[in-house]
């Protein structure tokens, strides 16, 4: 078989485009935080991870601009060699202080951080990685790259059953998300921390979607649940609440220093661009100074938005975060609804299989403190229109349907007839 044959056989996006419901790679011409612009139209942005709305904060913008003047546009080399800036080091120092860890290591992206750290530690002789079944792709890929054994667990009870096979698991790393990015579900970190106390494994928590949202002054889910002292490695990103690009891992000094010299995704990648590092540092300082007010506004908007969707009849899956999903069911319906919302002036993203189980497609929304009630009401009006337009099933969030894994309905056109692929 020709190496490119799977590429030539990959027809799903072509079918979706032919059906007029392809929802990805929209080109945005401008962004103002809660509002984006597309071809001259104003869209209420309900599909962002900009949880604190800091991407347009004056201090963040000024820091990024000053960094370009001071350092130029890029590092042009690995931090290991010539790309380690004063801003990187200062950012790591302030992150360590804020989160209460001995040291922090900053990577050029969150994906690189998760992949690099898990692959490195999971390749030690005898290492075992326990990975939560719904983990982010970067956590999954880090486990795949590790040479040690990988086990999958579903929840604390499943993990406990697997750990019961041995008396001690000091050679194991348990890897998990704190807040799940599509559904807003929050993990019971205390249950996992209690298992760590009993079995002695190392605990790695990805709190990308919890930092800036939960805990005192936005320190995250580990602080919200009081387990910071039992989380060995804390991961976070700058691309959510901290308004930039990049990822970081906090931990014990000697562990971080080891990763600094061994993590291939750090050593063989150019350093985080100066403007991105400076923007993240400025956003962290804004969080430290303005955090309580920003977080209060965020949660006020989140509660208002969630109540609004539920009053329209949408199932929001017991979301416990500013990520509020609206369940719609089939992939094709999610794509059609997303397109209609876009046409009605609302940017909200569909989440189909395989990101979620088949038959559980949803529209993923999130709010920020910079949304006004006018923004949210405008978006709710659009959701009301599509709710009337389509026969969206009533879902029991505790008993969701799951169809067979081979579901091709997502690229079917609106009338249900199979679409013809576009001509070459």
Q: Is 211 within 8 Å of 242 (Cβ atoms)?
A: yes
Q: What residue ranges in 81-171 does DSSP mark as E strands?
A: 103-107, 128-132, 149-153
Q: Are strands 346-347 and 41-45 parallel, antiparallel or unpaired?
A: parallel
Tokens matching residue 342: 């876009």
Q: Indicate left, alpha or beta for 317 from its phi (over 0: left) and psi (-120 to 50: alpha).
A: left
Active site residue 209: yes
Residue 313 half-sphere exposure toward CB, CA atoms < 13 A: 12
Start-end of H helices in 344-415:
373-389
- Provide the edge-to-edge strand list for the sheet that holds 323-329: 323-329, 361-366, 349-351
Active site residue 240: yes
Q: What residue ranges in 183-296 does DSSP mark as E strands?
A: 202-206, 233-237, 247-251
Active site residue 384: no
Which 8-state DSSP code applies to residue 393?
P
Q: Which helix (H) or strand (E) holds 310?
A: helix 274-311
3-state secondary structure of 26: coil
- Gap between the Cα atoms of 26 and 36, Å rounded: 11
Q: Pick the catalytic residue from 88, 240, 339, 371.
A: 240
Tokens matching residue 60: 């963040």
Q: Which helix (H) or strand (E) holds 256?
A: helix 253-262
Report the Cα 221 to chain-centroid distance in Å. Answer: 14
Q: Pick the catalytic residue from 181, 276, 321, 330.
A: 181
Q: Is 295 within 8 Å of 211 (Cβ atoms)?
A: no
Give every CB contact of residue 326 below 8 A, 6+ residues apart in sequence: 309, 314, 315, 316, 362, 363, 365, 383
Tell me how far CA of residue 55 lies from CA of 61, 64, 242, 279, 280, in angstroms.
Answer: 7, 11, 8, 9, 10
Catalytic sites, residue numbers: 181, 209, 240
């Amino acid at each position: 078989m020709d190496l490119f044959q799977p590429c030539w056989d990959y027809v799903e996006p072509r079918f979706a485009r032919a059906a007029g419901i392809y929802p990805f790679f929209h080109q945005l011409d401008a962004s103002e935080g809660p509002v984006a612009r597309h071809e001259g139209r104003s869209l209420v942005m309900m599909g962002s991870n900009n949880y604190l709305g800091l991407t347009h904060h004056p201090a963040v913008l000024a820091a990024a601009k000053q960094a370009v003047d001071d350092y130029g546009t890029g590092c042009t080399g690995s931090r290991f060699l010539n790309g380690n800036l004063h801003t990187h080091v200062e950012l790591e120092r302030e992150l360590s202080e804020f989160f209460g860890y001995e040291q922090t290591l900053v990577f050029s992206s969150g994906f690189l951080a998760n992949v690099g750290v898990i692959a490195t530690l999971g390749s030690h002789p005898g290492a075992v990685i326990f990975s939560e079944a719904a983990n982010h792709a970067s956590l999954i890929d880090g486990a795949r790259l590790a040479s040690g054994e990988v086990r999958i667990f579903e929840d604390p009870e499943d993990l406990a059953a697997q750990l019961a096979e041995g008396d001690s698991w000091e050679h194991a790393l348990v890897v998990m998300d704190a807040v799940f990015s599509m559904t807003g579900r929050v993990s019971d970190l205390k249950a996992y921390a209690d298992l760590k106390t009993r079995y002695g494994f190392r605990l790695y928590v990805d709190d990308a979607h919890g930092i800036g949202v939960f805990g005192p002054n936005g320190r995250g889910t580990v602080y919200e649940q009081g387990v910071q002292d039992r989380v060995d490695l804390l991961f976070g990103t700058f691309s959510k609440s901290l308004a930039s690009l990049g990822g970081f891992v906090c931990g014990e000094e000697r562990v971080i220093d080891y990763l600094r010299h061994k993590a291939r995704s750090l050593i063989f990648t150019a350093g985080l661009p100066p403007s991105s590092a400076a923007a993240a540092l400025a956003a962290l300082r804004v969080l430290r100074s303005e955090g309580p007010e920003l977080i209060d506004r965020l949660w006020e908007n989140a509660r208002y938005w969630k109540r609004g969707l539920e009053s329209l009849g949408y199932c929001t899956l017991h979301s416990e975060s500013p990520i509020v999903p609206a369940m719609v069911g089939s992939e094709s319906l999610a794509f059609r609804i997303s397109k209609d919302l876009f046409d009605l002036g609302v940017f909200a993203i569909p989440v189909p299989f395989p990101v979620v189980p088949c038959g559980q497609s949803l529209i993923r929304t999130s709010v920020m403190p910079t949304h006004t009630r006018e923004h949210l009401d405008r978006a709710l009006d659009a959701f009301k229109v599509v709710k009337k337009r389509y026969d969206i099933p009533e879902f029991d969030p505790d008993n969701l349907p799951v169809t067979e894994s081979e579901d091709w309905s997502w690229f079917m056109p609106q009338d249900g007839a199979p679409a013809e692929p576009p001509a070459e």
